[in-house]
Structure 1
Amino acid sequence: MSGRPAIRAERLLERLDRFAAIGATAKGGVNRQALTEGDREVRAMLAGLAGARGFSVAQDEAANLFLRREGTDAGLPPLLLGSHLDTQPTGGRFDGALGVLAAFEVLEALEDAGVVSERAAEVAVWTNEEGSRFAPGAMGSQAFAARALPPEWREARSTDGARLGTELAATIAALPVPLAPLGFPIAAYLELHIEQGPVLEREDTPIGVVTGIQGTLWLEVEITGQAAHAGTTPLGFRRDPMRAAAAAMAELYGGIMPADSDARFTIGRIEAEPGSVNAVPERVRFTIDLRHPDACELAALALRIRGVLESACAEAGCALSIRRLVDMPPTAFPEAMVERVEASARRAGLASRRIVSGAFHDALYLARCAPTAMIFCPCRDGISHNEAEHVEPRFAVAGATVLLEAALSLLGAADTASHPPIAASGPSAA
């Protein structure tokens, strides 16, 4: 080894700028939604960088992309690091991309220093984490963890009418690299991400050590009534789904979050049919995003939502249908992995604090496969999923540095007496 591996700040920051140019918006953000031409372009750019360093490149049938720096024992499961490159329609430059490019910087730092390890280190770029174009989100990591792509997903339609199976095939074909199996053994998983909240910046703490991810439930609600003339239909003759939806929304907004500071309740999309100014709608659809760190509380809130919706629909004479789009229970990361990240921050001379993730991430599903840990870094004003999203360079570099330290400890290439590397015989939570 030619020296202790180190993050090259200028290289990481330049890459963040270069990747943000693909899908750049006029307001300084990024629109690079999953399985679009922009997504394919940025994947090809990263694959080109990997090939130039001698790393192998592969993808699987879910279009997850893998960049691998080999170890001396090809039979050992690799250490996996990763995140995603897709964005929201008006997304920021750092959500997902920082985690991917920092993970790639870790591989380059290992290569620069000539680190030799038994176990390979591999970067994963997960498909459709955001879920903005195709639902559900985190499709790639879900498929990897389950080692299967649900057949019904292939028929899913995007917000622009595209078929998922067609877009997957086009994305895979656009990058002619070997096809990896969908799901394979890994020794551990690390993910760096921006906090997407205000806590770390408010405290000027550069590193968040994530202890777990709160549970998330996505619902699609459909309320059906009867279309009618807006000017001639009296109240007693109306079966108005918008009236039912509005009454339910008012009660839920007024009751859920004000009563429980840990709860998160959001209605993000509303559609009315036929959508005419002068007609009572026949049908109203809307989505609910419900989150809570406690599984029992999440289940209780879901029952409460159903009860409120049923009551409002009965009052308005409307029919109700509720479909679960995403149902993810809370996940706690192994204490040994949390402590390992804390020790990595101390070795780097960086302050840290424990934190629960309010957003779901690919790490939620990788935790089902192997010991998993997440590292957060602050973002300005806690703003994310927004073109104004910003991470100070010092925080981006700090997060990448702790990611490198944690990777070195897991690979056995650092002084980690209290946190030994992953056992050479296979995965371990130590």
Structure 2
Amino acid sequence: MTRVATNLQIDSARLWGTIHETAKFGGTPKGGVKRLTLSVEDKQVRDWFRSACEAAGCDVHVDTLGSMFALRKGRDMSKPPIGLGSHLDTQPTGGKFDGVLGTLAALEVVRTLNDAGIETELPICIANWTNEEGSRFAPAMMGSAAYVGDFTTDDILLRKDIAGVSVGEALDSIGYRGESPVGTQKFTSFVELHIEQGPILEAEGKTIGVVDSGQGVLWFDGQITGFESHAGSTPMTLRRDALATLSEIVLAVERIASGFGPKAVGTIGEAVIASPSRNVIPGEIAFTMDIRSADAEILDHLEKAVQAAVVDIAAHRKVEVRLEKVWHKPPTHFDRTLVNAVEAATEALGYSHRRITSGAGHDSCNLNTIMPAAMIFVPCKDGISHNELEDSTQPDCTAGANVLLHTVLTLAGVAAK
């Protein structure tokens, strides 16, 4: 790949403006964003995104799972485009930058190329992937997972949220069940800009994280079945307490993950007591579990150790515990050539940087299984994400978008006049 010699820069004020403009769709009183996938608020931001892309001269189409693709033509339309983008859905207590930065920076790249009158050799396609967060429907990164063949379209369409609404019903309710079969839009490669969602870049004073790998992820849905009984008249030794059982499982996950030092994490993120009451011993609890490591061998050890611990806890608590694995994403090692292209663009622009592993899962981690992919990280304040306090600075967002722009110019090339 030959680097395009240019001093081209994105419009920092315009990018910053679009980030804050889209934050009004699902904006919260604390300054965050609640925009669950396929909600009314998601429709609002999707409509905005479609209009903005069309105004930038892109052809927009939507696949049957609602993922959006905005194509900017290149000189050679016989080749698949360079893909860039991320997602627009958020967590229930989300912020302005997670996912949104990558999608809007991709739009800003297209706008900047338009303003400069630059035609690229290869086309460019911006993607907004459906349900990256997984906060309403499981699994996370649903649109890209189906795209790479991890799930069938029919399987995903039948997945339901906690209210019993299916993905298909939610798509129809906001008018975003597209006509293009999943996988129709091909890519030559894919580059995603994202906030780090961790504290490393800020702590080290680095502007850019050149992402070379991503953690593997295991998700479980758990169900504990004990026995409901009176809190005042049931002796402690005769209880089959579902909540006390969950407490032991939580501590076991913490202990097991901590045993692998900084190379593993484990979390119980949700717990719901069936028919809770102050004076009733909890008899039934549903919960979720999230386990991660960038080392496939460690991830396997984690799973086996957690499963064994759960069996032991259930036995001595005299309850039934069911763990269902609902998602397994192996560790990601991004394409070396693309990672080097990101690093070269960063160095050419003079930004401080370091190689980094992504602690979070991303659509690019899925895409990397079938095409060359890479990621660019910028710092977020105090490493906070999935929180209304999530924040990043305009200079850092601008730097990330500039690295994205120059990486894309390298990959797509500039058409000869």
Aligned to 1:179: 179
Contact 2:120-2:409 within 8 A present in 1 as well: no
TM-score under structure 2 length normalisation: 0.94
CA distance in 1, matches of 2:97, 2:76: 34
Shift of 1:378: 0.4
Gaps of 5+ in 1: 415-430
Q: Report how far residue 283 of structure 1 moved.
A: 1.3
Which amino acid counterpart does residue 278 of structure 1 have in structure 2?
N
Residue deviations 1:395-416, cap 9 Å, x none?
00000000000000001239xx
Identity of aligned residues (%): 40
Q: Distance in 1 between matches of 2:312 and 2:51?
A: 57
Contact 1:216 1:289 in 2 (8 A): yes
| Alignment-derived partner of residue 125 in structure 2 | 122
SS of structure 2 residue aligned to 1:369:
coil
Alignment partner of 1:79 out of 82, 87, 91: 82
Whole-angstrom distance in 1 between the partners of 2:294 and 2:176: 40
Structure 1 Cα separation of the partners of residues 194 and 362 of structure 2: 9
**SS across alignment from 1:216:** strand
Q: Paired residue for 1:136?
A: 139
- Paired residues of 2:256 and 2:306 also in contact (CA < 8 A): no
Match of 1:26 among 22, 26, 29: 29
SS in 2 for 1:269: strand
- CA-to-partner distance for each residue in 1:172-212, whole Å, 9 max, x for gaps? x259xx73331133100000000001111111211000001
Q: Tell whether the 8 Å contact from 1:186 to 1:369 is kept in structure 2 after alignment.
A: no
1:406 aligns with 2:407: yes
Match of 1:331 in 2: 332
* Structure-2 separation of matches of 1:211 and 1:174: 33
In structure 1, the partner of 2:347 is 346
**Bigger shift: 137-146 or 389-398?**
137-146
1:216 match: 217
Residue identity opposite 1:313 in structure 2: A
Q: Residue 99 of structure 1: which of 90, 99, 102 is its match?
A: 102
Deviations 1:242-285 (A, max 9, x none): 22222232233234225522111111111122312212222122
Distance 1:46 1:25 in 2: 20
Q: In 1, distance between residues paired with 2:256 and 2:150?
A: 40
For residue 309 of structure 1, give the secondary structure of its aligned residue in structure 2: helix
Q: Could you say which residue in structure 2 is the equivalent of 1:169?
A: 172
2:75 is the counterpart of 1:64: no
RMSD (Å), alpha carbons: 1.8
CA contact (8 A) 2:65 2:153 kept: no
Aligned mates of 1:147, 1:268 — CA distance in 2: 24
Query: CA, structure 1 residues 217+81, in 2 after alignment: closer, same or farther (shift >3 Å)?
Result: same
Correspondence 1:241-320 to 2 at 5 A: 241-257=242-258, 259-320=260-321
Whether 1:111 and 2:125 are equivalent positions in the alignment is no
SS at match of 1:288: strand
Which is further off, 156-165 or 121-130? 156-165
Aligned equivalents of 2:153, 2:283: Cα separation in 1: 32
Provide TM-score, normalisation by structure 1. Answer: 0.91
Q: Distance in 1 between matches of 2:142 and 2:16?
A: 28
Superimposed CA distance per residue, residues 52-92 of structure 1 (whole angstroms, 9 cap, x where no aligned partner)? 22211110001001111001222211110010000011100
User: How far does the alpha carbon of each residue in 1:69-127 deviate from its partner, in whole angstroms, 9 at most, with x for none?
Assistant: 00122221111001000001110000000000001111111111222223110100000
How far has the Cα of 1:22 moved from its partner?
A: 1.1
Corresponding letter in the other structure for 2:363: D
Distance in 2 between residues matched to 1:170 and 1:199, nearest whole Å = 41
Q: Determine the C-alpha separation between the residues in 1 that align with 2:370 and 2:58.
A: 24
Is it true that 1:387 corresponds to 2:388 in the alignment? yes
The 1:242–1:147 alpha-carbon spacing in structure 2 relative to 1, beyond 3 Å, is closer
The answer for unaligned runs of 5 or more in structure 2 is: none
CA distance in 1, matches of 2:205, 2:238: 59
The alignment status of 1:153 with 2:156, answered yes or no, reads yes
Q: CA deviation at 1:34?
A: 0.4
For 1:427, the equivalent position in structure 2 comes to none
Per-residue displacement from partner, 1:305-334 (whole Å, max 9, x unpaired)?
Answer: 111111010001111211112211101012
Q: Measure the CA separation in 2 of the matches of 1:194 and 1:360.
A: 12
With 405-414 and 313-322 compared, the bigger mean Cα shift is at 405-414
8 Å CA contact retained: 1:267, 1:287:
yes
